[in-house]
Amino acid sequence: GAQTVRGWDFLFEKYSTALFITEKIQMQAALTITRNKEKLQWLMDQSLLDDVIKIQDLPYIVVSIGRNPSANSMAWHFVKKNWDKLLQKFELGSNTVAHLVTGVTKLYSTRDKLEEVTEFFNSLKENGSQLRCVQQAKETIEENIRWMDKNFDRVKTWLENNKV
């Protein structure tokens, strides 16, 4: 699988030569769940270059990496670092930008992350702070915070008592 460098390289080679979109999508998903941060960064960088990996695959790749527990912060950092480049490739207010913003921040559940997301988008002014997807992302984080406040101790206790 994609958990070793050799397995990841093998899978990427298969991805590169796959003819059917369904195969490519499955392999793309597998490539994004590795713990190898260099490979994940390379995937995001290559998709932005629109060469080895097509630009239309970038949102799916970045959001999938954002759902990878060992790499969530990488996806958010990539979006922040490359915001201007992303807006050159995808129109501000587009579904693609909305998918990136909401997809990468969807799992955030702390006040620190909410503050970080808010500060980043507030710093953009006309380049993103007023986007509906930013409001949706912040609302989702707030909902996640409320859920954690309400349920974290209960879930933690249950897990400790049931040794799952």
pLDDT of 65: 96
Mean pLDDT of 155-164: 89
What torsion do the CA atoms of 140, 141, 145, 151 make, to the nearest 10 degrees?
A: 50
pTM of the predicted model, to two decimals?
0.90
pLDDT in tens, 126-149: 777 788 999 999 999 999 999 999
CA 58/CA 97 separation, integer angstroms: 11
pLDDT in tens, 2-20: 789 999 999 999 999 999 9
With cut-offs at 50, 70 and 90, classify the pLDDT of residue 164. Answer: low
pLDDT of 109: 96
Mean pLDDT of 77-98: 94
